[in-house]
Structure 1
Amino acid sequence: LIALYRFSRPHTVIGTILGIISVSLLPVQTIADLTPTFFMGLLKALVPSVLMNIYVVGLNQLYDVEIDKVNKPDLPLASGDFSMETGATIVSISLLMSMTMGIRFKSPPLFLALFISFLLGSVYSIELPFLRWKRHAFLAASCILTVRAVVVQLAFFIHIQKYVLGRPLVITRSLMFATAFMCFFSAVIAVFKDIPDVDGDRHFGIQSFSVSQGQERVFWLCVYMLLFAYGAAVIVGASSCFMPSKLVTVLGHCTLASFLWLKTQSVDLSCKASITSFYMFIWKASEYFYCLPL
């Protein structure tokens, strides 16, 4: 079970769950909307999405075993805790269950989100001509940004608003802000995740931004992008007409930005553990964002 937990890359699973819950609450207008029907619709979004998440991260590990022996030797396939056959079985079952649920639940935006995640997750990792997009920095970042910032926000919002609550589609200000904000966060995650992996990536020909531009330059680019996103969130929050929302949003994002800046002062770019710790902090910061009002 511990090996399966590590295989699923739990920080990505938590991010997926919180992201879907957060965006699913945006169409809710009153407490009366929080009916059993709503929670069943939310569950129908969460379960296949988590399974698809396991497919995507598992597939990447299947094709990255040799790289992970250098970059992430504690992962189950790289460490030998799982055989390749076990990994392939988990990945196949997760994909089959996810797509089956997506079809059976009869929600077009839900199925589309799962299908796009499957498509981009596959072209990101699979070693075939014209695929293996992770070798190219721009294509790799585009895959992650498209799924986490655009597909998750739009598809699950429409799923809840139209196919669960039964309301006509209305794109709200909060949805546009959440999508824009997560574009920054997802871009940072997509770029930053390769900073601690430069040795293995360089050896195996993965042209990440960290390999081509250098760790320090990419690190500070990510920090400034996050600070810009927090600054924009503060401005948007300050424009709210609802005073409690204004206070929580402004103070919350100011606090997160302050913690971010303080955390940067203790990062040692020559220490892989230090960089990885900061990367996990970025994931936690994105999770805190989901808890703040929009």
Structure 2
Amino acid sequence: MFIVSATCCSLGKRQARSFLGRCWKGTGAGCAFRSGNCGLRAATGCSLRACSSELDASSDAVRAGDNFGQRASDADQGRPVHQVGRQTEGERFAVRRALRVFLKFTRPHTMLGSAVSICSLSLMGSVSAGQALGAATLPLWTQLFPVLLVGLVPALLMNIYIVGLNQLCDIPVDRVNKPYLPLASGELSVPAAVSLVGMCLLGSFSLGFWLPQSTAALRFALVASCILGTLYSLPPIRLKRFPLLASLCILVVRGAVVNIGFYLHARSAVMSLRGPWLAELSPLIKFTTVFFAAYGIVIALMKDIPDAKGDNQHQLSSFTLQFGERNIFRFCVTMLIFMFIAGGIFCMSSALATVPRHRAFAAGGFHFVAAAWLRWRSRASMMEAHRSEVVYNFYMDIWKLFYLEYVVLPLLL
């Protein structure tokens, strides 16, 4: 019986019980038990009870693991120990679900666009400042990282505020156009969204105004983005009711505010400048501002095409409702193709004579390839511009080109 007990304690609980059953049937213990052999019955019963007790204790210890303290607390409160594992798994699921809802609420494609643009603009501004100061490469890179963080974190928080406020003001419309958004689907409550939006706004201004390397250009960019984003969504002004004003709002933010603001933030943080801003704009940043101002118009027009149904139901005017889905789609594609062709010509022009030719031709080649790809990609979507999912997929492809443009621009430094 000592051998049986030791074997049981070295096995898992189910394996041990199966093993004991086979041993019980394979020996005379069962017969002796039935025939009244009290000594064997007592010895066998004691061994079985001891082994079972050891198995239960061992199994509980294994299940406890790293959560021993929590399990002890649960036992003190009178809750069954076997429920703790289920509660822990439920808590993990709740955390994952909350993160997924938060990610959808932030509109990831706009967050990625802000992050890529600010990284690229910070690099351009820092390199421009380093060239003006004759700085070495290593000191420049050590200064770039903190300058980048000081601009990036407040900008991303402001981005969450703007897209979150837009969702709060568009719940009835989004239930038709974008039912997958957290507020429209009910995954996120309105009070929680209001708290989240308020905290992001407060955090953005707190970091952007009081961090040591904050600059006047950064503060200007944050304040201007906040004002325009609020006027765009919040009643009673609600600029998005007016197609032209809504397009101009996105044009100004994506064009002038972001590009000029964060470029000058990085440049002035590195150089500690206090002089006139516009005197420091290079030909590259001027091109970037004009290019993405036009890109902002395309984004503003294209995003309204899949939303035509909800906008019509809630009496929100848009160019799509006035001119039709196919006409607006064709205009956006034509405008993008023209922009990328013009960008390719600019990259190879004398305006960037100081840029190494191989880098200028690489950047120019990207623009021409992008224009050709847009022409090819739009053919299949043009005839189905009335289908929301087709236009939305094309709209997301436009955002991919948006990211790539900011990745290519540093080649022209």
Superposition TM-score, scaled by structure 2 size: 0.69
Secondary structure of the 1:291 match is: helix
The letter for the 2-side match of 1:207 is: S
Q: Which has the higher contact order (CA 8 A, sep 6+)?
A: 1
1:287 alignment partner in structure 2 = 403
Secondary structure of the 1:193 match is: helix
2:310 alignment partner in structure 1 = 200
Structure 2, unaligned stretches of length 5 or more? 1-98
The question of whether the paired residues in 1 share the 8 Å contact of 2:326 and 2:386 is answered with: no
2:234 is the alignment partner of 1:126 = yes
User: Aligned equivalents of 2:158 and 2:244: distance in 1?
Assistant: 23
Larger helix proportion, structure 1 or 2? 2
User: Aligned equivalents of 1:175 and 1:82: distance in 2?
Assistant: 40
Structure 1, unaligned stretches of length 5 or more? none
The question of whether the paired residues in 2 share the 8 Å contact of 1:141 and 1:187 is answered with: yes
* Distance apart, 1:33 and its partner CA: 5.2
Q: Of residues 162, 172, 177 in structure 1, which corresponds to 2:282?
A: 172
The letter for the 1-side match of 2:307 is: D
- State how 1:141-290 maps to structure 2 within 5 Å: 141-166=247-272, 170-239=280-349, 240-241=352-353, 242-267=356-381, 268-290=384-406
Q: Of residues 105, 112, 116 in structure 2, which corresponds to 1:18?
A: 116
User: Aligned equivalents of 2:271 and 2:178: distance in 1?
Assistant: 43
Q: Deviations over 1:216-260 (max 9, x none)?
A: 111111111111111111111121432112221121011111111
2:151 is the alignment partner of 1:35 = no
User: Aligned equivalents of 2:139 and 2:359: distance in 1?
Assistant: 20
* Distance apart, 1:36 and its partner CA: 2.5
The question of whether the paired residues in 1 share the 8 Å contact of 2:177 and 2:306 is answered with: yes
2:218 is the alignment partner of 1:110 = yes
2:188 is the alignment partner of 1:82 = yes
The letter for the 2-side match of 1:278 is: F
The question of whether the paired residues in 2 share the 8 Å contact of 1:198 and 1:210 is answered with: yes
* Distance apart, 1:89 and its partner CA: 0.9
Q: Deviations over 1:142-175 (max 9, x none)?
A: 1111111111111111111112333565210111
User: Aligned equivalents of 1:36 and 1:237: distance in 2?
Assistant: 29
CA RMSD of aligned residues (A): 1.3
The question of whether the paired residues in 2 share the 8 Å contact of 1:38 and 1:165 is answered with: no
Secondary structure of the 1:74 match is: coil
The question of whether the paired residues in 2 share the 8 Å contact of 1:33 and 1:165 is answered with: no
The structure with the larger Rg is 2
Secondary structure of the 2:306 match is: helix
| Regions of 4+ moved over 6 Å | none
Aligned length: 292
